[in-house]
Amino acid sequence: ETTVDLSLGDPPKVTQWSYREGVYDSRDRTFAGFTAAVRRQVGDDSTPTLLTDDAFDSGLIHRELRGAVLTEETRDEAGDVFADTTNTYTSRTLGTGQDAPSYSFKSAERVDEIEGDPSSVRTLLSETDQDDYGNVVEQRAWGEIKGDDAFVGDDEARTVRTYANDPDEWLLGFA
């Protein structure tokens, strides 16, 4: 439990945490962490208590994703859902061989804004791509989407970046 008093005359902000579904990594012979947690932000007379249910990657397949948030659902204590977020990650192996390095990055975020009314869901989508040096080379902020129609909200934005990389001289990521 965490309590924060902002000393502004407002009630203290109380956050309670509970973790579940612990995972053991038999390859590393260690506790890998938890794959789920609930964050409870205690409300008051004017603010409802907010529950955030997170699911995490165990990192058993891609070690660098250990603890990465896969899904997040925000709801009140009555069970009315406000938002449901799903994150997608892309993993890349650089080079060949058993010891070739790999890395992962969040390549998509889908947010279903429900606001307690499942009949009026708004879905927002953003996507990102990186090069083999970890530079963000494209961002697609689709904004509101419906099904496969990414242009329904007429609020999309796309950014493409190029970089000058000279790995022989260790000059990487110059925009």
Across residues 75-92, what is the average pLDDT? Answer: 95
Across residues 1-16, what is the average pLDDT? Answer: 85
Q: Please say whether the beta carbons of 108 and 125 come within 8 A.
A: yes
Alpha carbon distance 131, 152 (integer Å): 29
Please state, rounded to an integer, the average pLDDT across all residues of the chain: 91
- Evaluate if residue 175 carries a pLDDT over 70: no
- Please give the share of the chain, as a percent, with pLDDT higher than 70: 99
Tokens representing 58 are 């165990």
- Parallel/antiparallel/unpaired status of strands 171-174 and 157-160: unpaired
Alpha carbon distance 166, 20 (integer Å): 46
Alpha carbon distance 71, 174 (integer Å): 34
